[in-house]
Amino acid sequence: MKILRLLPLLFLIPAMLFANGNTESGDVSTVTVWHSNSGVLEDAFNHLVDEFNTNHDDIRIDAIYQGRANDVLTSVNAASLAGSGLPDIAQLDATAGLDMMYAPYLVTVEELGVDTSALIASAYAAYDGMNGHIGVPFNASSLLFYYNADLFEQAGVNVPRTLDEFIEIAPVIHEKTGVYAFSGVPTTYELVSFLGSQQGGVYISDNRNGHDGVSTKVLFDENGTFKTFLEKWKALYDTGAVNNLTSGVSSAFYSGQSASMLASSSNLSTALENTDGLFSLGVANVPMVDDEATGGVNIGGGCLAAFTNSEAVKEVIEYFISPSVQAYWAEHTGYMPVNSKTVESEDWQSFIAENPLYSVALDQALSSSEVVIGLWIPSAYQVYYSFQSTIASVLEDGMSIDDAVRTMADMINTSLAEYTRQHA
């Protein structure tokens, strides 16, 4: 019987079942880094990792792409359930803030003893939690206004500094070029700036946007910032020059179907790659809600959070924030350097002299208020979409602005209360 002759093969199965890719070797300590860099970002990141590995005999970085920042968080949360399998370092963004602040396995920057003296203060402050810093900024970015300079020129308009100016020029662009002046619906990331920058800089929820412990309620209803924003944004939409896209925003922009978009500065290199030869790309500060909105933008992007307290991990993290690494990273991606020595270096100064687009994000961030920081709330990912859907209801379905403010405040307050119920 043929099948009997196959039986010996069955004995190979156990060996295969437990096979895994890990190869541990004696004196080299491997530092596993889960990251979220893809495309041009991954190319740059891998270059940095390779450079580290070539220059170190005793430490090897094992860089693993886990999807986007919130996928990395999902993987970290899943691994933490197992009690094993956590990486040594993970690249996380503000949506991880609350989880990390309370995570028993997190090693804070202070505990790890990383030298942070050269970090740009506001970039470092973005990760300041109640028990210390959850990580060091690595891929710092800020929101930027990307525009199609050719279309703006064709319409004969200037880049708007405020939403009021945008309301004036949007119909002009639409009329003269035939394409939408703007595509997209603001989400949490945009709103932290649109709301937080008002009245010279305000918090969006109490406990310093959740950085000093879980927030108990939102503040944007009481202080009127969400209402002010919605009024302006509705006026902008009512010009008929805005396309409420929720996906494919960047491809609409790259393909010339819309004249501008709001996106993270980390998209700069990708945007240059995608628009090369199609049109001339411009970037500018995010238009502010009104003249009193002087708070600027928050520093977003991501940080490196450590889950292992060791010299090797500390050395890897210090490598990633070192002046030369930050210079290379910023010049190849569009992220802004987080190390003040990078900014002061002649290398960087000559780079931005040649590539002025790369300096906009940093200048904008440096002139922003320290009050405008990332929002650390439970279900951060879900809130992201709630903001979009509520704004879209106001624009498209005639929901009143007061109702929208109440809906959004209720929704977040309920999820804060549910979090507190479960974790009392």
Partner 1 sequence: MLKKIFAILLALVIVFPLFYNISLSLFSPRDFNTSPALFFPSSPAFENFSRAVSHRYFLRYTINSLVTATLAAVIRTLIVTLSAYAFSFLHFRGKKIILFFLLLSAFIPQDSLLYQNYVTVSRMNLTNTYLGIIITSLFSATQLMMLMTAMKSLSKDTFDASRVDGAKDITILFHIIVPLTKSVIITIFLQSFIGVFNAYLWPLLVTNTPDMRTIQIGVSLMGYQESGRMGPLFATLLIILIPFVILVVATRKLIIKALSNGLSY
Partner 2 sequence: MRAKNDKRGYLYVLPAVILVAVFSYYPFLKAFISSFFLKTQSGEFSAFVGLDNYKALFSNGYFLESVNTTFLITAIFVPLNTFLTLLAASFVRRESRFNEITGSLYIIPMAFSMSLLALLFKQIFSPTNSIINRIFGLDIVWLNDRISAIFAIIILCIFLDFALDYILLLSAFRKIERNIIEASLIDGANEIQRYFLIELPQIIPTLIMTIFIAVKDALLISAPIMLMTEGGPFRSTESVMFYYYIEAFRGQNRAAESTISTITVLFSALLLIIYSAVQKRRRHA
Q: Pick what 26 binds: partner 2, partner 1, none; C-beta below 5 to 8 Å, kind-dependent.
A: none
Q: Say whether residue 16 binds partner 1 (CB under 8 A).
A: yes
Look-up: residue for tokens 């991954």? 42
CB of 189 or CB of 319, closer to partner 2: 189
CB of 162 or CB of 244, closer to partner 2: 244
Q: Say whether residue 254 binds partner 1 (CB under 8 A).
A: yes
Q: Say whether residue 41 binds partner 1 (CB under 8 A).
A: yes
User: C-alpha distances in angstroms, 206 versus 212, 223, 230, 253, 346?
Assistant: 9, 12, 21, 36, 41
Tokens of 349: 């100064």
Q: Say whether residue 42 binds partner 1 (CB under 8 A).
A: yes
DSSP lists the bridge partners of residue 302 as 93, 139
Tokens of 268: 């700069």
CB 205, min distance to partner 1, A: 28
Number of residues that bind partner 2 (CB under 8 A): 35
Closest by alpha carbon to 334, among 354, 355, 304, 317? Answer: 355
Residue 11 φ then ψ, to 5°: -70, -20
Among 30, 53, 70, 369, binds partner 2 (CB under 8 A): 70
Q: Say whether residue 420 binds partner 2 (CB under 8 A).
A: no
DSSP lists the bridge partners of residue 60 as 30
CB 417, min distance to partner 2, A: 9
CB of 230 or CB of 362, closer to partner 2: 230
Closest by alpha carbon to 308, among 112, 82, 62? Answer: 112
Contact code string over 376-405 relative to partner 2, x by CB under 8 A: --xx-xx--xx-xx--x-------------
Q: Say whether residue 274 binds partner 1 (CB under 8 A).
A: yes
Residues 208-267 binding partner 2 (CB under 8 A) are 244-248, 251-252, 255, 257
Environment class of 341 (CB within 10 Å of its CB; exposed 0-12, middle 13-18, buried 19+): middle
Q: Which residues lie near partner 1 (CB under 8 A)?
A: 1, 3-4, 10, 13, 16-22, 34, 37-42, 64-68, 75, 78-79, 81-85, 87, 250-251, 254-255, 257, 270, 274, 278
Q: Which residues lie near partner 2 (CB under 8 A)?
A: 70, 73-74, 77-78, 81, 99, 102-104, 244-248, 251-252, 255, 257, 378-379, 381-382, 385-386, 388-389, 392, 411, 414, 418, 421-424
